[in-house]
Structure 1
Amino acid sequence: MASKDVQKLVPFEGSKLSKKEQIAHMFDDIAGKYDFMNHFMSLGIDVIWRKKALKMLRPLQPKKMLDVATGTGDVAIMAQRMLQPDHITGIDISEGMLELGRIKVTKAGFDRYITLQQGDSETINFPDATFDAITAAFGVRNFENLEKGLAEMCRVLKPGGKAVILEFSNPTKTPVKQLYNFYFRYITPWIGKYIARNKAAYSYLPSSVKAFPQGQAMCDILHKVGFQAVTCKTLTFGICSIYCATR
Structure 2
Amino acid sequence: MAKDVQKVVPFEGSKLSKKEQIAHMFDDIAGRYDFLNRFMSLGIDVGWRKKALKLLEPLQPKVMLDVATGTGDVAIMAAYRLRPEKIIGIDISEGMLALGREKVAKAGLSDKITLQAGDSETISFPDETFDAITVAFGVRNFEHLEKGLSEMRRVLKPGGKAVILEFSNPVKTPVKQLYNFYFRYITPWIGKWIAKNKAAYSYLPDSVKAFPQGQAMCDILHKTGFQAVTCKTLSFGICSIYSATR
TMscore range, shorter length: over 0.9
Residue by residue, what CA displacement relative to the aligned partner does 1:95-120 show, whole Å, maximum 9, x if unpaired?
00000000000000000000000001
Q: By how many angstroms is 1:87 displaced?
A: 0.2
Q: By how many angstroms is 1:130 displaced?
A: 0.3
Structure 1 residue identity aligned to 2:91: D
Q: By how many angstroms is 1:43 displaced?
A: 0.4
TM-score in terms of structure 1 length: 0.99
Q: By how many angstroms is 1:81 displaced?
A: 0.3
Q: Percent identity?
A: 85
Task: Tell me the residue number matched to 1:170.
Answer: 169
Separation of aligned partners in 1, 2:207 and 2:38: 19
Task: Tell me the residue number matched to 2:53.
Answer: 54
User: Does residue 41 in structure 1 map to residue 40 in structure 2?
Assistant: yes
3-state SS of paired residue (1:38): helix
Task: Tell me the residue number matched to 1:94.
Answer: 93
Q: By how many angstroms is 1:183 displaced?
A: 0.2
User: Does residue 104 in structure 1 map to residue 103 in structure 2?
Assistant: yes
Q: By how many angstroms is 1:233 displaced?
A: 0.3
| Gaps in structure 1 of 5+ consecutive residues | none
Task: Tell me the residue number matched to 1:119.
Answer: 118
Give the ranges of 4+ consecutive aligned residues of structure 1 lying more than 2 Å apart after TM superposition: none
3-state SS of paired residue (1:232): strand
Q: By how many angstroms is 1:199 displaced?
A: 0.1
3-state SS of paired residue (1:162): strand
| Gaps in structure 2 of 5+ consecutive residues | none
Residue by residue, what CA displacement relative to the aligned partner does 1:137-185 show, whole Å, maximum 9, x if unpaired?
0000000000000000000000000000000000000000000000000
Separation of aligned partners in 2, 1:169 and 1:243: 11
User: Does residue 155 in structure 1 map to residue 154 in structure 2?
Assistant: yes
Task: Tell me the residue number matched to 1:12.
Answer: 11
Task: Tell me the residue number matched to 2:210.
Answer: 211
Name the count of aligned residue pairs: 246
Task: Tell me the residue number matched to 1:73.
Answer: 72
Separation of aligned partners in 1, 2:17 and 2:171: 32
TM-score in terms of structure 2 length: 0.99
Task: Tell me the residue number matched to 1:26.
Answer: 25
RMSD: 0.9
Q: By how many angstroms is 1:222 displaced?
A: 0.2
Separation of aligned partners in 2, 1:223 and 1:41: 33
Task: Tell me the residue number matched to 2:236.
Answer: 237
3-state SS of paired residue (1:153): helix
Q: By how many angstroms is 1:127 displaced?
A: 0.5
